[in-house]
């Protein structure tokens, strides 16, 4: 009996420990109130880290500049062959704080580290570029969600220099301007090279003819540039760079034309570069850009200027199919993972991740829904997904899907039968959103 009691007591203690420290849900798993296309796909996913060398890179420093090999780190998520019970990965990082200090936190994951890539099938390649001072696992809500749906997703760690005092900012931000699109080009070049290499298990999963880009903030600046939206040499932003750095930026743009030609679609979340004081594109280059674009931002974004910057970019596009999703009463934080629990006691850290009005999990779920529709349409040729993007009415809150008296909402997403309500959203839950659209102008 004593032995039995010890076993029971041990079980109760273990249960209590599990209750006190519950397993955290990976951010790629959408909440139950997510719109339809946010749901995970059917693939088990693996992950692995890669590095890509960028030779002869101009790197700015406080003492001048140097030319060196820039080693770009990235993480790949992909459909994998993994046992159902295989241990899932987790990713450690440090909470960013204004003074440069911070404590560790962990990002839970769906992926099996080092799992064998699935054989016999190729998948579209999606390259993800984070915002200023982000990192490769900053957007696992998206990277892992897409991989489960049949994409090879590579997220770059651009290794931005964290600024501790204001004097360091010009050097840090100057390097971001020079390297963002260039890093993306090198990573695309590496993955497409591996796609043509027999015996490369990961490369054999990549379909080099179906490439999409996703970028947030400075990543948005980078992916638009890498996709062929050429930066203006007359921009005052680039005039502040030393001549060798400026020359490399534009030389990379010219040399990257063949890579840009391979890119089929671009999703830019709160992209930098449209606001008048920091405008990096001309109206002519915007009007000529022909790649499909999905833009996403908060209509109160005061970092990259939603009305005068991001909207200006969208409004001056004319040659492409384009959509612009606006979160009403949201600011800039529409692209990262939710705040980790470790951020709860520190406002400056929580502010780095969170929005004043919106739940981060809700923003991520809505973005999963629309980015899936956009990439499935343009990279997989799934024309049925167009109905999820060409929504009516433009303001979600004006949608009509009447309820009978005492009728339960039920959680059913809107289908083709609900023509006046946003497709894929549950009754009453399409709210606080606006979708603007544009088609190629006839010439």
pLDDT for 100: 67
Query: Tell me, what's the pLDDT at 98?
Result: 67
Distances (CA, A) of 293 to 84, 135, 327, 378, 400: 37, 23, 17, 10, 28
Measured CA distances, 149 to 109, 142, 410 (Å):
16, 11, 26
Residue at token pair 């449209």: 274
pLDDT for 329 equals: 98
Query: What pLDDT score does 164 carry?
Result: 76
| β-strand pairing of 152-157 with 123-129 | parallel
Residue 194 near residue 178, CB atoms below 8 Å: no
DSSP 284-314: HHHHH--S-EEEEEETT-TTTTIIIIIHHHH
pLDDT of residue 81: 94
Q: Which residues have CB under 8 Å from 84's CB, separation 6+?
A: 44
Which residues have a Cβ under 8 Å from the Cβ of 41 and sit 6 or more positions away?
145, 148, 149, 150
Between vectors from CA 149 to CA 145 and to CA 151, what angle results, nearest 5°? 90
Query: 150 is written with which tokens?
Result: 């049949």
Residues with Cβ < 8 Å from 101, sequence gap 6 or more?
none
Q: Write the burial class of residue 350 (CB in 10 Å: 0-12 exposed, 13-18 middle, 19+ buried).
A: middle
The Cα–Cα gap between 131 and 135 comes to 8
Q: Dihedrals φ, ψ of 168, to 5°?
A: -85, -15
d(CA 443, CA 440): 9
Which CATH superfamily, name and number, covers 38-389?
A: Alpha/Beta hydrolase fold, catalytic domain (3.40.50.1820)
Residue spans of the domains in the chain: they are 38-389
Integer-rounded Cα Rg, in Å, for the chain is 23
Query: 26 and 144 in contact (C-beta within 8 Å)?
Result: yes
First to last CA, the chain: 88
Closest by Cα among 110, 123, 50 to 82: 110
Element (H, E) at 128: strand 123-129
> Each residue's pLDDT tens digit in the chain (443 positions)?
334 333 222 332 233 333 334 468 999 999 999 999 999 999 999 999 999 999 999 999 988 999 999 999 999 999 999 887 899 999 999 877 767 677 889 999 999 999 999 999 999 999 999 999 999 999 999 999 999 999 999 999 999 998 878 888 999 999 999 999 999 999 999 999 999 999 999 999 999 999 999 999 999 999 999 999 999 999 999 999 999 999 999 999 999 999 999 999 999 999 999 999 999 999 999 999 999 999 999 999 999 999 999 999 999 999 999 999 999 999 999 999 999 998 888 888 889 899 999 999 999 999 999 999 999 999 999 999 999 999 999 999 999 999 988 888 888 999 999 999 999 999 999 999 999 999 998 65
- The pair of structure tokens assigned to 25 is 């849900």
């Amino acid at each position: 009996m004593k032995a039995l009691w010890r076993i029971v007591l041990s079980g109760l203690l273990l249960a209590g420990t599990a209750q006190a420290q519950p397993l955290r849900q990976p951010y790629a798993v959408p909440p139950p109130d997510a719109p339809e296309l946010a749901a995970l796909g059917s693939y088990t996913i693996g992950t692995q880290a890669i590095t890509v060398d960028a030779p002869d890179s101009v790197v700015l420093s406080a003492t001048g500049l140097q030319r060196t090999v820039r080693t770009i780190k990235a993480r790949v998520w992909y459909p994998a062959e993994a046992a159902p019970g295989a241990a899932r990965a987790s990713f450690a990082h440090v909470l960013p704080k204004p003074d440069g200090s911070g404590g560790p936190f962990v990002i839970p994951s769906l992926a099996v580290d080092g799992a064998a890539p699935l054989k016999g099938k190729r998948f579209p390649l999606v390259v993800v570029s984070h915002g200023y001072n982000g990192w490769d696992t900053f957007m696992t809500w998206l990277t892992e969600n897409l991989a489960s749906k049949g994409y090879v997703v590579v997220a770059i760690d651009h290794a931005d220099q964290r600024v501790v005092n204001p004097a360091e900012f010009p050097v840090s931000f100057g390097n971001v301007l020079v390297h963002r699109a260039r890093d993306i080009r090198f990573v695309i070049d590496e993955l497409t090279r591996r796609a043509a290499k027999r015996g490369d298990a990961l490369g054999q999963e990549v379909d080099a003819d179906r490439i999409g880009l996703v970028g947030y903030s400075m990543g948005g600046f980078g992916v638009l540039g890498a996709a062929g939206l050429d930066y203006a040499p007359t921009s005052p932003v680039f005039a502040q760079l030393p001549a060798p750095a400026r020359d490399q930026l534009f030389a990379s743009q010219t040399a990257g034309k063949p890579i840009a030609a391979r890119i089929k679609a671009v999703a830019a979340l709160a992209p930098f570069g449209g606001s008048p004081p920091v405008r990096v594109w001309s109206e002519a280059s915007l009007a000529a850009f022909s790649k499909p674009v999905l833009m996403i931002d908060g209509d109160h974004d005061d970092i990259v200027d939603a009305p005068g910057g991001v909207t200006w970019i969208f409004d001056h596009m004319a040659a492409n199919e384009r959509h612009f999703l606006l979160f009403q009463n949201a600011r800039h934080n529409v692209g990262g993972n939710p705040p980790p629990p470790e951020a709860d006691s520190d406002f400056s850290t929580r502010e780095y991740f969170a929005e004043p009005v919106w739940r981060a999990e809700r923003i991520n779920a809505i973005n999963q829904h629309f980015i899936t529709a956009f990439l499935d349409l343009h990279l997989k040729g799934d024309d049925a997904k167009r109905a999820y993007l060409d929504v009516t009415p433009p303001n979600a809150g004006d949608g009509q899907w009447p309820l009978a008296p005492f009728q339960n909402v039920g959680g059913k997403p809107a289908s083709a039968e609900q023509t006046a309500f946003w497709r894929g959203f549950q009754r009453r839950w399409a709210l606080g959103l606006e979708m603007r659209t544009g088609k190629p102008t006839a010439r």
